[in-house]
Amino acid sequence: MTRPFYLAAALLLLLLLGIVSVSVGALPIPLRDVSSALLDTHSRFHFIVYEVRLPRTLVGLLAGMGLAVAGAILQSLIRNPLASPDVIGISKGAGFAAAAVIFLFPQSPAYILPLAAFGGAVGTFLILLLLSRRLTLAPAALALVGVAMGAILMAATQYLIVTHPTNVNTALLWMSGSLWGRSWREAISLLPWIIVLLPLAWGSYQKLNVYQLGDETITSLGVHMTRQRLLLLLLAVTLAGISVSAVGAIGFIGLMAPHMARRFVGSHNQWLIPLAALLGANLMLLGDILGRMLIVPREIPVGIMTALVGAPYFVYLLRRERSRRSF
């Protein structure tokens, strides 16, 4: 099948999941009533559809795209299918910063939390730069330092949870990643970033394709490795930080979506990036839908649902990489 077919199929699936996402929940809304509830302000379902579920769906869609494209950029730069914002510590940096605000400054305004999460992601990125072989940003060093940073930040976050028992539920909900309670404020704050950064990422596909060739080949082509890699890493970190600041530390989207897209359209980023974006949104919405349907009227955070699939998938990729390198 052709590559445009996979893009069209992923887009169609996204539309279907979007409609289902607006329909399901503690109060199910028949699919035939969704459009009328959205347009008719006098409908008894209008408030639920327009004020609760539609912004929640949009936030999940946008954040899923951002995390997936960030993962696609990182995997191309590091030349490792196991790379993603959560694996190399960027999402954990955002989670630690958010937990610090929740526990140490519980009276802070609501808008401080996403700002802190974004700052944590950027701060982790800066530390990675400082520790990755004097800013040479070698892929192997970047990956190893990122994993180590993620472990340290996770331990620091757990320390905050143990030593500050208040607001534990809020912190755990945010750290697990959830679309619960997301409103138009988060959707509107995410939208301009995604509109600007996703085309910018796609426009960089030629540079990302070159970085998959190896450092020696890149040097022979006259490409300034460190500067270009720095700019592309900053783009990935911004996408991941903005997405995590809106939905919490949802893991494995940035790992699974690019890898799934690669199986369909190959490693050429002109096709990989748009398909990964669509698949990331699909995974996010599917996880959220399942989380709302399994134990009605309660719901399972989408971060837990993606982890249930993502963790075994990560182990599978790890075993495959080890077996491939053993030959």
Closest CA to 91 of 177, 6, 190: 177
Say if CB 250 and CB 177 are below 8 A apart.
yes
The CATH number assigned to the domain holding 140 equals: 1.10.3470.10
**Which domain, by its residues, includes 104?**
3-325
Q: What pLDDT does 327 receive?
A: 43
Q: What pLDDT does 323 receive?
A: 60
Q: Give dist(CA 71, CA 66) in Å, integer.
A: 9
Q: Give dist(CA 281, CA 17) in Å, integer.
A: 9
Q: Please state the domain count of the chain.
A: 1
Q: What pLDDT does 281 receive?
A: 96
The residues, ordered by sequence, that sit 6+ positions from 311 with a Cβ below 8 Å of its Cβ are 252
Q: Give dist(CA 151, CA 109) in Å, integer.
A: 29
The secondary structure of residue 50, as a DSSP letter, is: I
Q: pLDDT by residue for the chain (327 residues), tens digit each? A: 688 899 999 999 999 999 999 998 888 888 888 888 777 777 888 888 888 999 999 999 999 999 999 999 988 887 777 778 877 788 888 888 888 888 888 778 867 877 888 888 888 888 887 876 654 556 666 667 778 888 888 888 888 888 877 777 777 777 778 888 888 988 998 999 999 999 999 999 888 888 777 655 555 555 566 678 788 888 998 899 889 888 888 888 998 999 999 989 988 999 999 999 999 999 999 999 999 988 878 888 898 898 888 878 777 776 766 565 544
Q: What pLDDT does 186 receive?
A: 86
Can you spell out the DSSP letters for 199-238? HHHHHTHHHHHHHTT-HHHHHHTT--HHHHHHHHHHHHHH
Q: Give dist(CA 297, CA 304) in Å, integer.
A: 17
Q: What pLDDT does 55 receive?
A: 94
Closest CA to 152 of 190, 180, 120: 120
Report in angstroms the alpha-carbon separations of 312 from 81, 276, 320.
15, 20, 12
What is the pTM assigned to this prediction? Answer: 0.87
